């Protein structure tokens, strides 16, 4: 009899990753392709998913797959693979009814801990804090997009960097060492105030808002060099992220809190925002936060839990999330 396998997929905006594992958590296949989130075109998303899953299944029998979970950024989890994806799964030799679609928040939390109850704090392109209880997403704070929220995210940091540079140039704000690197990143040549402002506005508005996230590391670097303007941005970012975490934490009784999981580039790549947030987590919960490094492994953990009816053990979780040698 074939050994039962599960598939876990993390379909992000820029990269799609897939893990194939046994019910014991032993990873037997990995695949990677381009982005396939809910905002991608149907053809592009399907192609990326097909490539990642196909690569992970290389040399394996697809009929051995008994469950799958796909985490997609921007997805509305409906518990099914959806009609659009059903044909793709069948083409791969898989049973579409065995595949479940969830949000990227759920796979991120599952990547960081096997505990069914706890908190996730995410800061990457977007930002949100999420409460989980008994394996269910119970409440979300923020994650409202760049226009209405995502406080403390990379895009928020980048937008604040541009704002303080504009204020410094037009005289409303204090001078900041952010000016030179931000102008360089936006390819805005130095000159008189009017010319610089016009160049910054053109550069900032001709790209999608998410592109401002690339400026976030400049804020951290300037704060590390003790620029007071950048330091103020960093502190506000950390305060806003911790405010979201505090709001989410009210939904999980203290006695049931299993872990606080950090996810996203701002919190995992290091830097002053991450340092302040980690300190805040330790102060609030007297424990170090866990890290969500592999969303596909988290999706596989959810697939195993769904198949067996119980959360994965710490040992199985450790096997799933172990970094490839």
The three-state DSSP-derived secondary structure of the chain is CCCCEEEEEEECCCEEEEEEEECCCCEEEEEEEECCCCCCCHHHHHHHHHHHHHHHCCCCCHHHEEEEEEEECCCCCCCCCCHHHHHHHHHCCCCHHHEEEEEHHHHHHHHHCCCCCEEEEEECCCEEEEEEECCEEEEEEECCCCCCCCCCCHHHHHHHHHHHHHHHHHCCCCCCCCHHHHHHHCCCCCCCHHHHHHHHHHHHHHCCHHHHHHHHHHHHHHHHCCCHHHHHHHHHHHHHHHHHHHHHHCCCCHHHCCCEEEECHHHHCCCHHHHHHHHHHHHHHCCCCEECCCHHHHHHHHHHHHHHCCCCCHHHHHHHHCCCC
Q: In the predicted model, what is the mean pLDDT of residues 59-72?
A: 92
Q: In the predicted model, what is the mean pLDDT of residues 234-248?
A: 98
Shared-domain flag, residues 21 and 74? yes
Contact (Cβ atoms closer than 8 angstroms) between residue 76 and residue 50: no
Q: Which of 258, 284, 306 is the last residue of a domain?
A: 258
Contact (Cβ atoms closer than 8 angstroms) between residue 300 and residue 7: yes
150 within a domain of the structure (yes/no): yes
273 within a domain of the structure (yes/no): no
- Range from 42-56, 135-149, 231-245 carrying the lowest mean pLDDT: 42-56
Of residues 93 and 27, which shows the higher confidence score? 27
263 within a domain of the structure (yes/no): no
280 within a domain of the structure (yes/no): no
Cα–Cα distance for residue pair 50/44, rounded to 1 Å: 10
The two structure tokens encoding residue 323: 């970094």
Shared-domain flag, residues 131 and 199? yes
Q: Which of 236, 258, 280 is the last residue of a domain?
A: 258
Residue 306 has pLDDT above 60, yes or no: yes
270 within a domain of the structure (yes/no): no
Shared-domain flag, residues 92 and 170? no
Shared-domain flag, residues 96 and 174? no
CATH of the domain at 170: 3.30.420.40
What is the average pLDDT value for the chain, to the nearest integer? 91
Shared-domain flag, residues 162 and 243? yes
pLDDT value at position 318?
A: 95
Residue 77: pLDDT band with limits 50, 70, 90: very low
59 within a domain of the structure (yes/no): yes
Shared-domain flag, residues 105 and 120? no
Shared-domain flag, residues 303 and 249? no
Residue 37 has pLDDT above 70, yes or no: no
Shared-domain flag, residues 78 and 188? no
User: Which residues fall within 8 angstroms of residue 157, CB to CB, at 6 or more apart?
Assistant: 213, 215, 216, 219, 220, 233, 237, 266, 273
Residue span of the structural domain in which 85 resides: 5-114+293-321
Shared-domain flag, residues 136 and 80? no
64 within a domain of the structure (yes/no): yes
Shared-domain flag, residues 167 and 139? yes
Name the domain count of the chain: 2
Q: Which of 212, 240, 258 is the last residue of a domain?
A: 258
Q: Name the β-bridge partners of 119.
A: 131, 260
Residue 79 has pLDDT above 60, yes or no: no
Shared-domain flag, residues 82 and 137? no
Shared-domain flag, residues 126 and 30? no
Q: In the predicted model, what is the mean pLDDT of residues 73-85?
A: 53
| Torsion 260-248-210-104 (CA) sign | positive
272 within a domain of the structure (yes/no): no
């Amino acid at each position: 009899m074939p050994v039962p396998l599960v598939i876990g997929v993390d379909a992000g905006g820029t990269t799609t990753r897939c893990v194939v594992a046994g019910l014991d958590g032993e990873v037997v296949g990995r695949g990677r392709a381009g982005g396939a989130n809910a905002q991608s075109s149907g053809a592009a998303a399907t192609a990326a998913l097909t490539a990642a899953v196909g690569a992970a299944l290389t040399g394996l029998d697809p009929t051995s797959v008994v469950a799958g979970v796909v985490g997609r950024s921007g997805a509305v989890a409906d518990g099914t693979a959806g009609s659009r994806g059903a044909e793709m799964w069948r083409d791969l030799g898989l049973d579409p009814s065995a595949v479940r679609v969830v949000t990227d928040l759920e796979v991120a939390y599952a990547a960081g801990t096997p505990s069914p109850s706890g908190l996730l704090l995410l800061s990457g392109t977007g930002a949100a804090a999420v409460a989980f209880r008994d394996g269910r997403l119970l409440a979300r704070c923020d994650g409202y997009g760049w226009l209405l929220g995502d406080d403390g995210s990379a895009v928020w940091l980048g937008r604040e960097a541009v704002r303080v540079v504009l204020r410094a140039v037009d005289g409303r704000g204090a001078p900041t060492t952010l000016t030179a690197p931000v102008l360089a990143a936006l390819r805005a040549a130095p000159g008189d105030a009017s010319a610089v402002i016009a160049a910054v506005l053109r550069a900032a508005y001709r790209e999608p808002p998410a592109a401002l996230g690339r400026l976030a590391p400049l804020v951290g670097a300037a704060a590390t060099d003790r620029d007071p303007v950048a330091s103020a941005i960093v502190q506000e970012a950390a305060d806003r992220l911790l405010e979201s975490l505090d709001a989410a934490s009210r939904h999980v009784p203290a006695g049931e809190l299993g872990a606080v999981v950090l996810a996203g580039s701002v919190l995992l790549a290091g830097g002053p925002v991450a340092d302040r947030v980690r300190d805040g987590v330790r102060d609030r919960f007297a424990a170090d936060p866990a890290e969500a490094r592999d969303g596909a492994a988290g999706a596989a953990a959810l697939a195993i839990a769904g198949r067996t009816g119980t959360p994965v053990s710490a040992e199985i979780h450790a096997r799933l999330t172990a970094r490839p040698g």
